[in-house]
Chains A and B, each alone.
Chain A
Amino acid sequence: MTTVEAKTGQLAWVYDLNKCIGCQTCSVACKVLWTRDEGEKHQWWCSVNTMPGLGTPKNWEEMGGGADPKTGKPRPGHQPTREEFGGGFDYNYYEVFYGGSAGKAHLEPQAPRENRWAMNWDEDQGAGEWPNSYFYYLPRMCNHCSNPVCVQACVTGALSKGENGLVLRDEEICMGDRFCMEACPYKKIYFNYDRHVAQQCIGCFPRIEAGVAPACVRQCPGRAVFIGYLDDAESAVHKLVKQWKIALPLHAEAGTGPNVYYVPPLSPYRLNEDMSIDYETPRIPPEYLESQFGPEVHDALSTLRSEMESVRNGGKSEMLSTLIAYKWQELLGPFTVDPATLTPSANGEA
């Protein structure tokens, strides 16, 4: 794999999927900071979807892209369309609030009903049949990959792997060619049709530079997201990813070396027809989790279960204490500065 050396260490995110409650606070924290301008209505640089699900853009897991894991060479992919991302709807606010309809008109997206789609459109649908239906929440953002095929596919040199290992775009240089959107296997790059540039998560770099954690991390009410330098042996992200190996990349087979990791979801056991518990069979099919997080998912879940068992029996576990995050500042790595102390520009305001 071709690896682009990060200039000052590689930042990594770890989302604990056992703590994510799908509240979209990370999504909204990001949205209000970075994507409120023209052409950004449909953009959700951070978004949470129910899995299994089609997600956003619709059916993104079938859109190709990524790199050959052996050679690092980029593989062709589909450029998600505006319709596949969906969302960014206008609503009939005037009609409802001022139109004199007195309760007869209801808020309705001003878009054709057929093929309507948006971020989180298939919320909580999941899979399986009652009483064994199942789902979990999956927050997604730019993976700030170590082998960023978006950078390789970019013609103009607008994209680069910069400080802190963040993949950043110079919007003055971007011509809106969108090869990056084709090449990205995670389909987390958006196109701004008004400004003719592609856009994606910037890792809240102005906050990082000021010692403040990214909005998605800082605002998470579930204490489910960690950030830190992957090679800092004292950091939570290092321990979760490298030491305990319980945080795994999503679709590592895409070959881009993603730097967003996930503690995979534990699963309740299946219920038999007589409602007795089948202790042998987890409700989320292990093969499904393997399709998401690779074969390492089985060991990761096994490690988690044995650690939980140990604590139930009176033992202590640094791993579980880390995941619980008794002090929420522990999630923030070195980025513990209060964002209220920031200048407006570092907080996403002009």
Chain B
Amino acid sequence: MRVEKVNEGVGLTDPSASGWSAVAPVTVSLAPVGLQAQPNEYIREAWKDRAYGQTPEAKLSAASDGQRLYVRVEWQDDAAPNREFQDAVGAVFPTNGTGAIATLGDAEKPVALWFWEHGRPSALRLISRGPGRFRKADGDELSALGTLKDGRWSVVFSGPASAAARGKIGLAVWNGSNDERAGLAAVSQEWLPLELD
């Protein structure tokens, strides 16, 4: 997918910013991370008869002003909110040019996540070595803003433009009202190439 080149100061950090109307989104199909790939026996047992990761698709668009990479994700979620678990989304990047997107990385080939969760005070940079096997990572400034309107979440990540050089992107979506967290997510099954304008 194309990373739209924009001028500095266009103001894309808000998901409803008018600048996004000039950036064409692509629709990304999502599918649940497999039960057998879940990281421990407890989760495989507790979720063996319970559906998760049912968010079918999300719209993804990206833009960069040379300093920042803006990633906008939009998806339908009209389920009633859940006090315990919150909706969340991750923009997934390979590390060292590789990594299994469908399992959010593995022990040998971790992937990097920009992670936003409704209610969390700030976005997180994560390194993932498999479904839910996340570690918080240091790095350049990352911020995110999410809005819910008419049953659709729109979230914009704003991170360093250098992330676009990772060359590929994927998505992960968690439906909080279904208690989804960790590896219980809907993820894109293939990397999308990130092409800078």
Contact = CB atoms under 8 A, between A and B. Distances in A.
Interface of A: 73-76, 79, 81-83, 149, 152-157, 172-173, 175-179, 182-183, 191, 196
A153 B46 CA distance: 10
Given A155-B183, A156-B133, A191-B84, 11 more contacts: A74-B45, A76-B46, A79-B84, A83-B83, A153-B40, A155-B132, A157-B133, A178-B181, A182-B42, A182-B46, A196-B120
Contact of B182 (A75, A79, A179, A196): A179
Interface string B129-153: 0011111100000000000000000
Contacts, number: 63
A173 B135 contact: yes
A167 to B, nearest CB: 15
Instruction: Say whether chain B's binding surface is mostly helix, strand, loop, or mixed.
Output: loop
B144 to A, nearest CB: 15
A155 B45 contact: no
Contacts of B39: 155
B46 A175 contact: no
Contacts of B197: none
A118 B89 CA distance: 34
B108 interface: no
A152 B135 contact: no
B43 A175 contact: no
Contact of A81 (B43, B83, B132): B83
Interface residues of B, number: 21
A155 B83 CA distance: 21
A149 B83 contact: no
19 contacts: A74-B42, A75-B45, A79-B179, A152-B40, A152-B41, A153-B40, A153-B43, A155-B133, A155-B134, A155-B182, A156-B132, A157-B133, A175-B132, A175-B181, A175-B182, A177-B181, A179-B43, A179-B46, A182-B42
B175 to A, nearest CB: 15
A175 B134 contact: yes
B42 to A, nearest CB: 4
A183 B133 contact: no
A153 B136 CA distance: 19
Nearest to B184: A177
Given A82-B83, A178-B181, A152 B132 contact: no
Contacts of A177: 132, 181-182
A57 B84 CA distance: 15
A76 B45 contact: yes
Contacts of B133: 155-157
A145 to B, nearest CB: 14
Interface string B96-130: 00000000000000000000010010000000000
A154 B182 CA distance: 10
A157 B120 CA distance: 21
A149 B42 contact: yes
Contacts of A81: 83-84
A115 to B, nearest CB: 13
Nearest to B50: A76
Contact of B134 (A82, A153, A156, A179): A156
